[in-house]
Amino acid sequence: MQIERPHPKIGALVTGVDVRSLSDEDWRTLYQTWIDSIVMIVRGQTLTKEEFLAYSRRFGRLKPHRVRKTRDPEHAELTVMGIGTKRADGQVNQAIYNRGGHWHTDSPWDDEVCKGTQLYGVAIPSTGGDTAFASMYEAYEALPDSLKQRIAGLKAEYIYGGKKREGHDLLEPEDRARPPAVYPMVRKHEESGRTSLYANPHHIVRIQGMSDADSEALVKELTPYMVDTPAQYQHKWQKGDIVIWDNRCGLHKACGGYPIEEPRIHWRTTIMQDGVQRRLAA
Ligand SMILES: O=C(O)CCC(=O)C(=O)O
Ligand SMILES: [Fe+2]
């Protein structure tokens, strides 16, 4: 097994391993590499859905995604991304084509902490379709002390799609009115012990205890620290890549820009963190 870390702050590329037959030592190394690098690519895999699920489960408890429409019919814990980018009338279905196309963390709207997300590249377009990642440890580090003090102790509320309810047509009607989940804006990672900024510009609805205008202004002030950090990695997919990212300390976005007539298909699992309190808005 070889591990490359081209950027010291974010990203690791693992080659020369088959995740179906890992030694205990290689598994421990992989897990720690992921915690250290925020986003880890394991290249060159050939997996069935069951094998992908079994490997994903090693990282933690899997949860079926709130978007029921894109769950695999036989495996609720597996979401199939990228099916149906074109509507019957030939128009682009933006909710599918552009899914994840904003800087965000996954499932901040869930009352349970979402530890990680794992994608397996099934069909990769010839150009475009990258996924970008940014370190929220570095975003926090870069904040001026005055801003660090202003956000200390603040909590924010999140719902699926944020204020604009983007992507709500992917949700079933009964899932559209769920209460917001609450997350501290400065968080200590439960495994690395490091501090990161958690503000997720896409799914946020408000910062608690602030007027809408003040809350919006503060998120606007924080956003450049999150999205312009030099601690970024842009992944160019290859078929057979498994990419896992840590939602507790990173943002990501789908970069789009791939030909609509070419398939871009990923299998996806959502990995939850146990032993942390549920976080519903009071
Ligand atoms: O398709 C991508 O590149 C990322 C999609 C995404 O944001 C997700 O699966 O959570
Ligand atoms: Fe995402």
Is-contact 239 44, C-beta < 8 A? Answer: no
DSSP 66: S
User: What's the structural domain count of the chain?
Assistant: 1
State the Cα–Cα distance between residues 212 and 162, nearest whole angstrom.
13
Among 84-93, 233-242, 253-262, the least confident range: 84-93
- Provide CB contacts within 8 A for 224, sequence distance 6+: none
pLDDT digits (tens, 9 = 90+) for 144-190: 999 999 999 999 999 998 888 888 889 998 889 899 999 999 999 99
Q: Kindly state the average pLDDT of the residues 212-218.
A: 96
The per-residue pLDDT of the chain, averaged, comes to 95
Q: Residue 153: inside a domain, yes or no?
A: yes
- Predicted confidence at residue 277, as pLDDT, reads 66
What 8-state DSSP symbol labels residue 168?
A: G
The beta-strand segments (E) located in the chain are: 2-4, 12-15, 39-42, 61-62, 71-72, 75-81, 114-123, 131-135, 155-158, 181-184, 186-188, 195-197, 204-207, 232-235, 242-246, 250-254, 265-272
Tokens of 2: 């070889």
Q: Is the pLDDT of residue 282 over 70?
A: no
Question: Which residues lie closer than 8 Å to 27 by C-beta, 6 or more apart?
Answer: 58
Report CA(146)–ligand 2 centroid distance (Å): 30
Which residues are near ligand 1 (CB < 6 Å)? Answer: 81, 99-100, 106, 117, 119, 131, 252, 254, 268
Q: How far apart are CA 242 and CA 235, in angstroms?
A: 11
**277: in domain:** no
* Radius of gyration for the alpha carbons in the chain, expressed in angstroms and rounded: 18
Q: Where are the alpha helices (DSSP H) in the chain?
A: 24-37, 49-57, 94-97, 136-142, 145-151, 212-227
Residue 281 has pLDDT above 70, yes or no: no
pLDDT at 274: 86
List the residue whose alpha carbon is closest to atom 7 of ligand 1. 100
Query: Which tens digits make up the pLDDT trace of 7-24?
Result: 999 999 999 999 999 999
Residue 282 lies in a domain: no
The preferred substitution site among 252, 267, 269, 271 for testing ligand 1, maximizing ligand atoms within 8 Å of CB, is 252
Domain assignment present for 37: yes
CATH number of the domain at 137, please: 3.60.130.10
Atom of ligand 1 nearest to the CA of 117: 10
**Does residue 279 lie within any of the structural domains?**
no
Instruction: Give residue 139's pLDDT band: very low, low, confident or very high (50, 70, 90).
Output: very high
**For the CA of 237, the nearest atom of ligand 1:** 3
For residue 70, what pLDDT band results from cuts at 50, 70 and 90? very high
Is pLDDT at 100 greater than 90 in this prediction?
Answer: yes
Q: Residue 211 falls within a domain, yes or no?
A: yes
Query: b vs e for 40-70, b when ≥16 Cβ sit within 10 Å of the residue's Cβ?
Result: bbbbebebebeebbebbeebbebbebbbeeb
Mean pLDDT of 92-114: 94
- Testing ligand 1's pocket by substitution, the residue of 67, 78, 103, 131 carrying the most ligand atoms inside 8 A of its CB is 131
Task: For residue 37, give the amino acid letter.
Answer: S
pLDDT tier at 278 (50, 70, 90 boundaries)? low
Question: Range of 187's domain?
Answer: 2-272
Q: How far apart are CA 194 and CA 139, in angstroms?
A: 12
Per-residue pLDDT tens over the stretch 117-128: 999 999 999 999
Q: What is the pLDDT of residues 188-197, one digit of tens each?
A: 999 999 999 9
Reading phi first (left if > 0) and then psi (alpha if -120 to 50, else beta), residue 180 is in: beta
Q: Whose CA is nearest to atom 4 of ligand 1?
A: 254
- The token duo for 215 is 């809350």
Q: Is residue 11 part of a domain?
A: yes
- Neighbour tally for 4: CB within 10 Å: 11
Tokens of 198: 């958690």
Domain-located, residue 278: no
